[in-house]
Amino acid sequence: MTTYRNLIDGVWSDSDSGETFENRNPADRDDLIGRFQKSTRSDVQRAIDAAHRAYASWRLVPAPRRAELLFRAAQLIAERKDALARDMTREMGKVLAETRGDVQEAIDMTFFIAGEGRRQYGQTVPSELPDKFAMSIRQPIGVCGIITPWNFPMAIPSWKIIPALVCGNTVVLKPAMLTPLSAVNFVEILVEAGIPSGVVNLVTGGGEDVGAELTTAPQVSVVSFTGSTTVGRTVALSAAPSFKKVHLEMGGKNVIMIMEDANLDLAVDGCLWGGFGTTGQRCTAASRVVVHENVYRAFLDRFVARARGLTVGDGLDPSVQMGPSVSQAQLDTVMRYVEIGRSEGARLVAGGHPLTAGAHAKGYFHEPTIFADVAPTMRIAQEEIFGPVVSVIPCTSFDDAIRIGNGVQYGLSASIYTQDVNKAFAAMRDLYTGIFYVNAPTIGAEVHLPFGGTKSTGNGHREAGTVALDVFSEWKSVYIDFSGRLQRAQIDTTELPA
Ligand code: UN1
């Protein structure tokens, strides 16, 4: 059994605490994956100091040269995709096909953003004055504190770290305590690709120590966080006094709207994949399905039959379709919401129980669960559960569906199933979310378009796409006067020569 270390200033080192924590397989608690450093605020401070020192030279490396190292990293991830995916399934439970997808997102993001090493476009504009040049350039910001969740243990670190690096920043990464191995694997590859010492640092441990230090330390200029809305609020509050740039990517309660003209087979497939993929543990999960009353019964019967037929088990087994919840705490949350749904009067039509016998005895398994006849105001239709629980809500019209769809505090992703192009476009315009799908579920965003949400899902920033650079750079406007005389800008234009 391996004890993994923090990476600080290019050295894999033990925490000052002398303590470690365990990482176990959520499909089999007996499977101990490794021990990781339970880090202190002093460890984080050393990592921040290292990142701060490394920034002085990394920011001056030409962006195309920085990108060369990133291209090399993408290549290495691709070569090791299978082993990385297996480690990830073992530490967080989602099925191998999905962890391969997670690693692939890291590959795609790294190649895509490395390309930005040659494309950090600014603007060149005419000056108001003669013999004067005007332009804007992107500048790196400094040390970035990166705080990542367990549900996409390699993809999300890559979404944040790679754009931070290509812009010339340095990084301290705090991965979720449930998935530190994928973070170590990712950072090891960055080191192997030639990223210099101190440019990327990794510190494992809890939010109250590692996270708190990253969000308050004066030398950290940017914080990028993906996780729950509750923790996101804490991050924003603790980063506010030092005016850090804060990027938050938080909860979702995403809706699939099924209109009466929808292709129901397609819709059922979409709801299964959107609702139960990653065991429902995606911020983009389709946890609400709003169905037109005229097709409600037909849809529900098929959806329930298919959900009951899903094979739940260890994600390393290729015949398994849905893995465990990531932890006991997450499973407890799922069970608590099943109770809440029952007590609110929703009709439990599939699942509803943990799976504890036989092959399921040692993991955090739960049946794919569907509540029908859910009222839009019920807690199971309002609150993010982050588990395999889908609420099906009847609606009477297109307008009713839009109203229900928008009637939550979150705004990440939404989808409509319809054959009517007019309804599709109207819904695309009127759903107040950051991502929208037509005839596809709410999950599966691609790396080269912006990713993020409205309302309590985010704070106005986006990651992925070329706009990812906006979080990790700031603009400098540059004026070069080569006239050799004093020229006064913003004078009354009547003073200009005829
Ligand atoms: C997340 O759930 O935190 O669009 C990210 C998707 C994936 C990313 C999900 N590409 O579902």
pLDDT string in tens for the chain (498-residue length): 899 999 999 999 999 999 999 999 999 999 999 999 999 999 999 999 999 999 999 999 999 999 999 999 999 999 999 999 999 999 999 999 999 999 999 999 999 999 999 999 999 999 999 999 999 999 999 999 999 999 999 999 999 999 999 999 999 999 999 999 999 999 999 999 999 999 999 999 999 999 999 999 999 999 999 999 999 999 999 999 999 999 999 999 999 999 999 999 999 999 999 999 999 999 999 999 999 999 999 999 999 999 999 999 999 999 999 999 999 999 999 999 999 999 999 999 999 999 999 999 999 999 999 999 999 999 999 999 999 999 999 999 999 999 999 999 999 999 999 999 999 999 999 999 999 999 999 999 999 999 999 999 999 999 999 999 999 999 999 999 999 999 987 766 555 555
pLDDT of residue 497: 58
Four-CA torsion 285, 279, 146, 72, nearest 10 degrees: -100
Give the gyration radius of the chain's Cα atoms: 24
C-beta 447 within 6 A of ligand 1:
no
pLDDT of residue 1: 83
Residue nearest atom 7 of ligand 1, based on CA coordinates: 444
Residue 214 near residue 174, CB atoms below 8 Å? yes
Helices assigned H by DSSP within 312-467: 328-344, 379-382, 398-406, 421-430
C-beta 148 within 6 A of ligand 1:
no
C-beta 445 within 6 A of ligand 1:
yes
C-beta 435 within 6 A of ligand 1:
no
Instruction: Provide the 3-class DSSP secondary structure of residue 2.
Output: coil
Residues involved in catalysis: 249, 283
Query: Which atom belonging to ligand 1 lies closest to the Cα atom of 149?
Result: 3
Query: Which atom belonging to ligand 1 lies closest to the Cα atom of 446?
Result: 10
Helix H or strand E encompassing 455? strand 454-455
pLDDT of residue 491: 67
Dmax (CA) for the chain in angstroms is 91
Residue 351 near residue 367, CB atoms below 8 Å? yes
The CA-CA-CA angle for residues 180, 184, 186, to 5°, reads 115
DSSP 494: G
Instruction: Provide the 3-class DSSP secondary structure of residue 283.
Output: coil
- Pocket mutation for ligand 1, best pick of 283, 384, 435 (most atoms within 8 Å of C-beta): 283
**What is the Å distance from ligand 1's center to 337 Cα?**
22
C-beta 437 within 6 A of ligand 1:
no
Give CA–CA dist 197/142, Å, rounded: 15
pLDDT of residue 409: 98
Nearest to 433 by CA among 460, 407, 406, 459: 406
Give CA–CA dist 175/181, Å, rounded: 9
pLDDT of residue 385: 98
pLDDT of residue 489: 74
**What is the Å distance from ligand 1's center to 281 Cα?**
9
Residue nearest atom 11 of ligand 1, based on CA coordinates: 443
**What is the Å distance from ligand 1's center to 330 Cα?**
18
C-beta 158 within 6 A of ligand 1:
no
- Phi, psi (rounded to 5 degrees) for 226: -125, 130
**What is the Å distance from ligand 1's center to 1 Cα?**
31
**What is the Å distance from ligand 1's center to 443 Cα?**
6
Query: Which atom belonging to ligand 1 lies closest to the Cα atom of 447?
Result: 10
pLDDT of residue 493: 59
pLDDT of residue 412: 98
Q: How far is CA 231 from CA 211, 248, 280, 340, 373, in A?
A: 10, 10, 20, 23, 32
Count each helix (H run) and each strand (E run) in the chain, helices first. 15, 23
C-beta 330 within 6 A of ligand 1:
no
**What is the Å distance from ligand 1's center to 431 Cα?**
19
C-beta 413 within 6 A of ligand 1:
no
C-beta 282 within 6 A of ligand 1:
yes
pLDDT of residue 148: 98
Query: Which atom belonging to ligand 1 lies closest to the Cα atom of 252?
Result: 2
C-beta 415 within 6 A of ligand 1:
no
- Pocket mutation for ligand 1, best pick of 99, 100, 152, 250 (most atoms within 8 Å of C-beta): 152
C-beta 443 within 6 A of ligand 1:
yes
The two tokens of residue 78 are: 């691709």
Residue nearest atom 3 of ligand 1, based on CA coordinates: 283
DSSP letters of 138-168? Answer: EEE-SEEEEE--SSSTTHHHHHHHHHHHHTT
The CA-CA-CA angle for residues 94, 90, 146, to 5°, reads 75
**What is the Å distance from ligand 1's center to 444 Cα?**
6
Query: Which atom belonging to ligand 1 lies closest to the Cα atom of 101?
Result: 10
Query: Which atom belonging to ligand 1 lies closest to the Cα atom of 226?
Result: 3
C-beta 152 within 6 A of ligand 1:
yes
Query: Which atom belonging to ligand 1 lies closest to the Cα atom of 281?
Result: 2
**What is the Å distance from ligand 1's center to 410 Cα?**
15
